[in-house]
Structure 1
């Protein structure tokens, strides 16, 4: 189950990256904001490559942008397979995506903590990562639903609402 869920999540992550990229390009046409070189510079530092400020190869930016999205999508697929589906799960996943980006960017010295950013830049980043998280979630949830409810959903259906006296459901024997 886990491997299938992770593979479905990788597909969902690729769709999420495509949706985020389309949203970014549309926003850039409207606002005139240039491409960010942060993904490429982060990848350069992670792999110890020589840095070329303002001249990062486009493929390097795309590799980091898409690579993170697909890799993190595997987690969203596992979440959906476990029964963590819908808008709440996608909101939780948004926090994961933001945390991943900020950890890598700050650990490499390429980025700064988001609370130090100009507010407009922060809102743009949150919006784009939100598009990614919810698009990835929608695809992961749809793919996971083909296998029926996840274990978490089965547990939640035992007794609706948060109650203290409901233990986990019996394990299915193989």
Structure 2
């Protein structure tokens, strides 16, 4: 019988790596977009981090470092979740779409809770489109890396369960324990 238990720690670690790759892809996309549109850097991540940690408002290089810390910190920690999703068998574009909603929710919760941001439906449409596009790059790049690494372990428990009968069926119970 195939292994039906998931390696949680390994999956989360793979997700952290995938999250960092997703941050790199998002950052590259942002820099390319900024060259085309002339949009300046956003320091919302730095301001959010300052509010969360009770730090004084920073400028220049210190603000840039805080921005980077928040980008990489959020991206890698959220990536751990995407790695767990991949380890469980939630792989592919649909799973990355689910993860996209998590990334957006995470950003908006922190930004709004700290008073740094406003609800996205109040934003100018061009800013909203740019933010949604960049977060999509992050979510799908993170998913691609997490899924690729998780595929090396074979199917996850969810995928094994689906092979017993597609869709939700009352006659297909949980996989047996090891």
TM-score, normalised via structure 1 length:
0.95
1:118 aligns with: 124
1:83 aligns with: 89
1:72 aligns with: 78
Q: Contact conserved, 1:40 with 1:56, CA < 8 A, in 2?
A: no
2:177 aligns with: 171
Q: Contact conserved, 2:85 with 2:91, CA < 8 A, in 1?
A: yes
The alignment of Structure 1 onto Structure 2 pairs a total of residues equal to 172
2:136 aligns with: 130
- CA deviation map 1:19-54 (0-9, x unaligned): 000000000000000000100000001000011478
Q: Contact conserved, 2:20 with 2:75, CA < 8 A, in 1?
A: yes
2:110 aligns with: 104
2:64 aligns with: 58
Q: Contact conserved, 2:43 with 2:63, CA < 8 A, in 1?
A: no
What secondary structure does 1:57 align onto? Answer: helix
What CA distance in whole angstroms lies between the structure 2 residues aligned with 1:13 and 1:159? 32
Q: Which runs of 5 or more structure 1 residues have no equivalent in the other structure?
A: none
What secondary structure does 1:124 align onto? Answer: helix
Instruction: Give the superposition deviation at 1:150.
Output: 0.4
Q: Which runs of 5 or more structure 2 residues have no equivalent in the other structure?
A: 1-6
What CA distance in whole angstroms lies between the structure 1 residues aligned with 2:64 and 2:58? 12
RMSD between aligned alpha carbons? 1.3
What secondary structure does 1:22 align onto? Answer: helix
Q: Contact conserved, 1:40 with 1:60, CA < 8 A, in 2?
A: yes
What CA distance in whole angstroms lies between the structure 2 residues aligned with 1:86 and 1:105? 29
TM-score, normalised via structure 2 length:
0.93
Instruction: Give the superposition deviation at 1:163.
Output: 2.2
